[in-house]
Structure 1
Amino acid sequence: MSAPERIPPRGMTSGPSCAEAGDGTQEPPRPDGAAAYDLLVRGELTVRGRIRGASNAVLHCAVELDGQRADCVYKPVAGERPLWDFPDGTLAQREVAAYELSRATGWDLVPPTVLRDGPYGEGMCQLWIEADPAAELLALIDGEEPGPGWKAVGFADVGEGRTALLVHADDARLRRLAVLDAVINNGDRKGGHLLPTPDGRLYAIDHGVTFNAEDRLRTLLWGWAGEPLTDEAVEVLRRLSADLTDGGGLATRLRELVTEAETDAVRDRIGALLREGRHPEPSGQWPAIPWPPV
């Protein structure tokens, strides 16, 4: 295979939206499930542009195979910036590990994500999700109480000496995601990573800063902190625990993507959640909310 091309410079705008092809014709329906996974694994990637504002290289691509086509995100390992608390060149694997664990829960909160070769070398490839711009999951409100249908996160400085209460929706989909983030030890759950879709699904993206063996949980989804886990969450955690025993398929897959110590830490976090039976609370040893939060 020829050497990867040079990654395009940051700030390059992406090409046509995933709802419309470059010639103005309507795109075919977006594949889902096994079809989407196979398309991402075997399809031909064509880079359409670089997404603005990302700290690492994030490329907007089209992927095509046997007449099927979809938009996707491709993050080459060569475009990852080193982090002091993660081994170099491992963020793409962590994104895939988050997808694998999400799939094991049955909640499917992470879009289909694979590790594959591409125009700029090996990287993560993930199905593109168009979010519903009308959906409201986060808000800043005046006052000290979140009000019906909302959960408080904390107060935020909004400028000119004013503060507002940051809240997120009291939404079952977000509550599931809060459990998933606790399991994968997500160090960067921002508001912009939440993608509700018009059909009522919720997807979450950007999972490169996950699976650290040390406590790194930073999230905007603290609204259920200290509250009892739902019966559904307890059942899911029990299934994950069983699948993470030695010889379990999930344990084998995770060890291919993250270190053995990090895989063991996933099992330990699940065990702690089951023993305590509650959503975790901020440890006080690490900033609880990522910056910037959105």
Structure 2
Amino acid sequence: MTAGPPEAELVLDGRIMTASNATFVGHLGEVTVVYKPVAGERPLWDFPDGTLARREVAAYLLAVTSGWDLVPRTWLCDGPLGPGMAQLWCQPDPEQDAVTLVPADDVPARGWCHVLDGVDEQDREVALVHEDSPALRRMAVFDILTNNADRKAGHVLTMPDGHRYGVDHGLTFHVEHKLRTVLWGWAGRELDAPEVAGVQRVRHGLDGDLGTALADLLTAAEVAALTARCDRLLAAGRFPAPLDGYPAIPWPPF
């Protein structure tokens, strides 16, 4: 199992200033990529320094093993600013929203899941909603397995053909419960057969190629915690609900 890079020198074209960590757009030949150098990672109190790039690659490898095309191709690289991660650039459709805010009294009756109510910056009552789609359900399962602490709305890429990609997976695979996501709309619902099959592929992979690959990216304790999450999810057979007393939504959610 490999996430090896295209054969070309990484050339930087610009920086994404809205990202919390140093994030650049560049190209490898004619291929556009996102590049995040380890040296540009902002220190965090709850994640070890210098590990976010490896967690992004680990998330990609898990997505590949699941059989779901959830994460753009991601690999470790040695770029102009030192070691880091690179990921294929995917340009989303600005006319589509997989996660959005709507007036609290105008929540769609079909095709959407209601997550929570709140007020916006103008003190209007609003509701956070997301698509009720197989693609987003699989992403929610992926987030449970990776223990994703940062599934913001902007981390869901709405592709022009209707495909959905998840990005920004540096805050994943913690040994403690860290799940923070905007995709809570299926809490308590049963997993469907394709979702169970995807989790089973990951669990089996942990005893084979996936486990071998993750051993170079995560600690043994983190891989063991991932294995335990797979087992718990398969045993429960349904989406978990947010834990009492723990922030369930990343901030900001958009």
- Do Structure 1 and Structure 2 share a fold, with TM-score over 0.5? yes
CA deviation after TM superposition for structure 1 residue 70, in Å: 1.0
CA deviation after TM superposition for structure 1 residue 93, in Å: 0.2
1:114-155 Cα deviation digits (max 9, x unpaired): 001010110000000000112221232232854111101101
Q: Normalised by the size of structure 2, how large is the TM-score?
A: 0.95
What is the 5 A alignment of 1:8-157?
40-64=5-29, 69-141=30-102, 142-143=104-105, 146-157=108-119
CA deviation after TM superposition for structure 1 residue 41, in Å: 4.2
2:219 maps to which residue?
A: 259
Distance 1:159 1:53 in 2: 20
1:5-33 Cα deviation digits (max 9, x unpaired): xxxxxxxxxxxxxxxxxxxxxxxxxxxxx
Give % identity: 50
**Contact 1:41 / 1:114 at 8 angstroms: preserved in 2?**
no
> Is structure 2 residue 231 aligned with structure 1 residue 275?
no
User: CA 1:161 to 1:59, structure 2 compared with 1: closer, same or farther past 3 Å?
Assistant: closer
Distance 1:263 1:176 in 2: 21
What is the 5 A alignment of 1:91-240?
91-141=52-102, 142-143=104-105, 146-240=108-202
> Is structure 2 residue 250 aligned with structure 1 residue 290?
yes
CA deviation after TM superposition for structure 1 residue 162, in Å: 2.6
**Amino acid paired to 1:62:** H
Name which of structure 1's ranges 125-134 and 151-160 shifts more when overlaid on structure 2.
151-160
* Larger radius of gyration between Structure 1 and Structure 2: 1
Structure 1, unaligned stretches of length 5 or more? Answer: 1-33
For the aligned residues, what is the CA RMSD?
1.5
Distance 2:225 2:13 in 1: 38
Q: Normalised by the size of structure 1, how large is the TM-score?
A: 0.83
1:179-213 Cα deviation digits (max 9, x unpaired): 00000000000011111211222111000000001
Distance 2:42 2:97 in 1: 32
Distance 1:285 1:89 in 2: 29
Give the 3-state SS of the residue equivalent to 1:110 in structure 2: coil
1:51-86 Cα deviation digits (max 9, x unpaired): 11111100110111xxxx111000000000111111
Distance 2:74 2:136 in 1: 20
**Amino acid paired to 2:11:** T
Give the 3-state SS of the residue equivalent to 2:160 in structure 1: coil
Give the 3-state SS of the residue equivalent to 1:265 in structure 2: helix
Q: Which has the higher contact order (CA 8 A, sep 6+)?
A: 2
